[in-house]
Every structure is written in structure tokens, then in C-alpha cells.
Amino acid sequence: MTETTGQITNRRVVHLAGEIDLEHAPQVRKVLLGAVEQGRMILVDMAEVEYIDSSGIACLIEALQEARKNSADLALITVNPQAMRVLALARLDTVFDIHDDLTSAVRA
Amino acid sequence: MHATSASLAAAQPVLETISDAEILAGYCRELTIERDLPATLNIALEGMVKNLQAEIAEIYLWRGSPSGFAFSTSRGRSITRRTNAQCDDPMLVRCLEQRTIVCGQADATAIPAICAPILPLGQPYAAARLTRRAGAAGFDGRDRALLLAMANAAALAITNAQLKEAVDDQKDTARDLEFAAEIQRHLLPNVTPGEYPIFGFNRPIRQVSGDFFDFFTLPDQRIAFALGDVSGKGMNAALLMAKAASLYRCLGKTIFCPAEILRRLNREIQETASHGMFVTMIAGIYNPSTGSLEFANAGHEPPLLRSQDHGYESFPADAPPLGILPELIMTARKVEMGGGEFFIFSDGLTEFRYGQGEQLGADGLIQMMESFSSLPMAERIEALLSELNQEGWSLRDDLTVLAIDDAWVKTHD
């Protein structure tokens, strides 16, 4: 699991990569909550997420709930097909704001 | 450790007499008896006070807090333990920082003092400190050599006692987990497969499970059933599992509408769930006399309906999992089983992997299930689980299956 954080036009972008599972969830949670604390709009880039389990999804949900508490927004971008399948199966595509790419997320 | 001892040895005289060796032999013998940490500290300190004619002996142990030490003090045979003490004695600080034995007078007074590091703990933050009455003779070279040897023996004994404490803690945790697992097993119905139209199976990947299933007969002879999967694994998932399972059992006996049960469960879980935790769940009611089935699916892996001609239909979730949104908008589905079979399973089943290969997936599951198509449902599922228990297959999550056999009623009337 790797993650990096950047800043694009007032949006904090968190790049997640690799396997987001129980082992890596604490690190992902820390990064996402840190980004939520510092930004008004957080974009989570999931293009390189090879696998995400329910522990990883719980991190995303907690970050989303925290963002809403702070009147901030959190959206997922470039979610790869494997992760998208997991999100869609659980109907989490109705919970998260999901964008195909960074450009459309920035325009939104 | 060896390098430090060697550098210290140059500054230390050797022990003077055979009686000193006997003192050390006795001290070491006492410390080899297995004891808990406080008892070990008592024996270590008593021996230091007695053999070095000290008034007070103290052993300082770093407990990891920034403010410092927990330490035990011996005045003769009276032992006191203090915690979070400040380490502001310059001699002790020097002893700890330089990992060396330090001898002199405490706090610029006429109180003779000596400090020895306790090194084998794998960290520099343990030391013994001894003082005599004000005006008494100072600690000499023989005392330094004796204390250094005693500190090393004490260090080994302290390390052993700390390891014993850690092992005892692990045993306590393992016992607690086993007890929790047993209580969890009792939350699940215990029905022999094939003796009822519905049965379930649960195998936790750890000791306790984040999955659950349940079923019970309603007053009108219909059967209420549910299967849930809490996000994550281990104890936190198990605690939320116990809550969701208990709430379901309570609500399911008074509310005969699966979608309404899930809506109410969602509100309860959403109010108290933390860390983004959620529950994917299917709840339903099966009528054995008509073969009709009503169920609602909150974010759970699509269940499968297997018709009598072995065709499969899957039913995607109607709403997100429980515990995320304040309100769930969902309606239940109604299907006629027509003598077919209905399978609900946690993603532990579809996420089985063979070696480093792809996950089993729903298609792989169907294919494997059909390789045992000549068997009755209960035996077929047992064969499937037994196949997945073979070497090469790896389970990544808790595994739970709930199966309803509509043909069972016709053969058991």
C-alpha cells in the first residue's frame, strides 16, 4: 500500500495504491482523516488500488462522514474497475461522489 | 552489551575473595526462581541492600511514558513501588546516558551513592541506585564490581519476569477470546444440515467472527432468516456483529417485513457505529408451504436462486450497507422458489483464492457448486466447503453461508 497527498486548485488529492486491506487500513485511515482535517475538498484517487476490502471501505466511509461533519466534501476519482465493482455491488456508488477523472472532479 | 561490559571492566577491580563469589552465586540462585516482576524486584533489591550494606536500594524501570520511570525502592526489607517518577538525579542520569557505573555522593551531600546500569533489557532505561547513611564509608572498588555483577543478574531476572508477564497477558487474552468465540457460536442457530429446510455455516478467519446468520420459525410457521457481514475482522467486528445479531433476533420476532427490519437496524447501527464500520445484511422470510420468499438486501453480496433445472439468478443489493446513511430507502423483493434453492453467503466465500490466482467469484462459486450437482443441497454445500478447505485455497475473510432448500419440504412432508 502506498499513498501520497498533493494539492490541486484548492483540492487536496490523496493517491491510494496497492491493497487496501485490514493490514493497511490504519495507515489509510490516518492519511484520509489528516486530509479531511486540512481541506475543504478532498479527492481520493483510486486508479492504482488493486484490492479493497471492507476495512478499506470503512476508512473511506469514516473520512466521508468526518468531511460532512466539517462541511467539507470528499469524492473518489479514477476508481479502477476492480474497486468500482466492490463499491457498486454494495451500492456504495450511491453513497460516494465518484468522478471518472480529476478534470471532471475539479469542474464539479 | 559485550562491548559495554568490556569497556566497564577496565575501570573495575575484580572481585576480591571467594566469599564474594559465594555472595554472587547465592544472589543469582535466588533470582533464577520464576517469579512475577514485583517479587523479582524485591529479591533483587533485598540482595543489594544486604550484600552492599546499603540503606536504600532502588531499581528504576522505564515504562515508556515521557515523564519517566516506575521504580521500586527497598529500605532494608521494606519495598515500595512508585510510578511515573521523575529521573532528576544527576548520577542516575549519567549512569543511564553513558551506560556506565557511577559512584560518588548523592546530590552534593555526604550520602554515599552508586548507580549501575541494567543493560540486557534491550534498552538503556533501567538502573539500580544504592545509597548509605550520610557520613558512612563510600562505595569502593569491590562494591562496584559486586553491584555490576548483581545488576547484570537482576537484569536477566527482570527480563524473564517481564516476558512471563507478557506471556501471562497473552494467555489471558487468548482465554478471553476463546470465551468470546464460544458466546458467539451460541448466537448462531445450531441445526444439522439436511434436517431442516434451512441451515447455515460460519467459519471465522480469526478466533471471533464479524459475520452472523440466524433463522427462526414465526408463529404462522414461516421462517425468518438473516445473514450479516460486519466490515473488518477481529474483535471490533465481532462486537458489532453481536449487536446486529441481537437486534435482528429481537426485531425479527415482531416485525414481519424484511425491508422494515433493515431500516430499523440501520438507524440503530448508524447512531452508534464508529470508525466508518458498517454491516452488509440480507433479511428475509421464507414460506415453506408455498415456496415464496421475500427478502431485502442492504449492500450485501448478491444471493443466488438456483432453479430446479440448475439455472442461477442473482439479486444485487437494494440499498447501501447498514450504519452509513441516516435512513435507508429500500423495498423487499419477492420470488417464488418453485422447488429451487436460495443461497446467501458472505464475501469470504467469493474471495477464496487458489494460490496467487484470481478470486473464486460468483461464477467460480456456481461452477464449483455444479460440479457436485448430483448431491442433495446440504451435502453439496458440505462438499463445496470441504473442497475449499483443501491445500492451495486461502480464505481471506470470515466465511458464512445460509441456504434454503424449497425441495426439502416436499421430501419431508
Residue B135 CB neighbours (<10 A) = 9
Position B264 scores a pLDDT of 97
Q: Do A58 and B396 touch (CB under 8 A)?
A: no
Q: Do B320 and A59 touch (CB under 8 A)?
A: no
Position B147 scores a pLDDT of 94
Position B15 scores a pLDDT of 57
Q: Is residue B349's pLDDT more than 70?
A: yes
Nearest CA in chain B to A22: B232
Question: Using 50, 70 and 90 to split pLDDT, how confident is the model at B74?
Answer: low
Nearest to A57 among B231, B318, B396 (CB): B231
Asked if residue B177 belongs to a domain, the reply is no
Q: Do A54 and B320 touch (CB under 8 A)?
A: no
Q: Do A61 and B316 touch (CB under 8 A)?
A: no
Position B2 scores a pLDDT of 42
B290/B194 same-domain check? yes
Position B335 scores a pLDDT of 97
Position B303 scores a pLDDT of 97
Domain of residue A30, CATH code: 3.30.750.24
All residues of chain B having their beta carbon less than 8 Å from the beta carbon of residue A91 are 299, 316-321
Average pLDDT rounded to a whole number, residues B147-173: 89
B283/B330 same-domain check? yes
SS3 B287: strand
ipTM attached to this prediction: 0.91
B252 touches chain A (CB under 8 A): no
All residues of chain B having their beta carbon less than 8 Å from the beta carbon of residue A62 are 275-276
B133/B198 same-domain check? no
Give residue-wise pLDDT tens across range B215-267.
999 999 999 999 999 998 888 899 999 999 999 999 999 999 999 999 999 99
B321 touches chain A (CB under 8 A): yes
| Least confident stretch, B78-92, B174-188, B230-244, B305-319 | B78-92
Q: Do B278 and A57 touch (CB under 8 A)?
A: yes
| Least confident stretch, A23-37, B106-120, B153-167, B269-283 | B106-120
User: Which parts of B56-210 are beta strand (E)?
Assistant: 56-65, 68-75, 78-85, 102-105, 112-117, 126-131, 198-203
Average pLDDT rounded to a whole number, residues A49-58: 93
B137/B206 same-domain check? no
Position A9 scores a pLDDT of 64
Question: Using 50, 70 and 90 to split pLDDT, how confident is the model at B184?
Answer: confident
B141/B30 same-domain check? yes
Q: What letter represents residue B301's amino acid?
A: E
More confident residue, B333 or B176: B333
Question: Using 50, 70 and 90 to split pLDDT, how confident is the model at B9?
Answer: very low
Q: Is residue B337's pLDDT more than 70?
A: yes
| Structural domain count of chain B | 2
Position B68 scores a pLDDT of 56
B211 touches chain A (CB under 8 A): no
The top-scoring range by mean pLDDT among B100-109, B255-264, B361-370, B381-390 is B255-264
Q: Do A89 and B229 touch (CB under 8 A)?
A: no
B296/B262 same-domain check? yes
B398 touches chain A (CB under 8 A): no
Asked if residue B147 belongs to a domain, the reply is yes
Asked if residue B61 belongs to a domain, the reply is yes
Question: Using 50, 70 and 90 to split pLDDT, how confident is the model at B69?
Answer: low
Give CA–CA dist B300/B330, Å, rounded: 13
Asked if residue B173 belongs to a domain, the reply is no
A67 touches chain B (CB under 8 A): no
B353/B228 same-domain check? yes
Asked if residue B169 belongs to a domain, the reply is no
Position B280 scores a pLDDT of 97
Triad B275, B278, B280: Cα angle to 5°: 165
Q: Do A90 and B320 touch (CB under 8 A)?
A: yes
From the candidates A86, A91, A96, which should be mutated to test the interface with B, based on the most B CB atoms within 10 A?
A: A91
Domain of residue B100, CATH code: 3.30.450.40
Q: Is residue B181's pLDDT more than 60?
A: yes
Which residue range is the domain that position B96 belongs to?
A: 2-164
Q: Is residue A84's pLDDT more than 50?
A: yes
Q: Share the mean pLDDT of chain B.
A: 86
Strands B68-75 and B56-65: antiparallel
Q: Do A61 and B318 touch (CB under 8 A)?
A: no
B283/B240 same-domain check? yes
Question: Using 50, 70 and 90 to split pLDDT, how confident is the model at B4?
Answer: very low
B237/B373 same-domain check? yes
Pull the grid cell for residue B302. Answer: 448478491
Position B87 scores a pLDDT of 63
B98/B219 same-domain check? no
Nearest CA in chain A to B318: A91
Q: Share the mean pLDDT of chain A.
A: 89
Domain of residue B277, CATH code: 3.60.40.10
Q: Is residue B88's pLDDT more than 90?
A: no
Q: What letter represents residue A37's amino acid?
A: E
All residues of chain B having their beta carbon less than 8 Å from the beta carbon of residue A90 are 280, 299-300, 317, 320-321
Question: Using 50, 70 and 90 to split pLDDT, how confident is the model at B339?
Answer: very high
Position B65 scores a pLDDT of 54
Position B348 scores a pLDDT of 86
Residue the block writes with cell 486530509: A35
B300 touches chain A (CB under 8 A): yes
| Structural domain count of chain A | 1
The answer to whether residues A52 and A20 touch, using CB atoms and an 8 Å cutoff, is: yes
Position B10 scores a pLDDT of 45
| Least confident stretch, A6-10, A25-29, A37-41 | A6-10
Q: Is residue B7's pLDDT more than 60?
A: no
Minimal C-alpha gap between A37 and chain B (Å): 15
The closest alpha carbon to B360, from B403, B399, B321, belongs to B399
Which residue range is the domain that position A103 belongs to?
A: 2-107
Q: Is residue B3's pLDDT more than 90?
A: no
A87 touches chain B (CB under 8 A): no
CA dihedral B241, B245, B247, B252 (to 10 degrees): 150
Minimal C-alpha gap between B340 and chain A (Å): 24
The closest alpha carbon to B370, from B322, B302, B309, B328, belongs to B309
Max CA pair span of chain B = 101
Q: Is residue B341's pLDDT more than 70?
A: yes
B146/B256 same-domain check? no
All residues of chain B having their beta carbon less than 8 Å from the beta carbon of residue A23 are none
From the candidates A54, A61, A62, which should be mutated to test the interface with B, based on the most B CB atoms within 10 A?
A: A54
Average pLDDT rounded to a whole number, residues B86-95: 76
B158/B193 same-domain check? no
Position B353 scores a pLDDT of 83
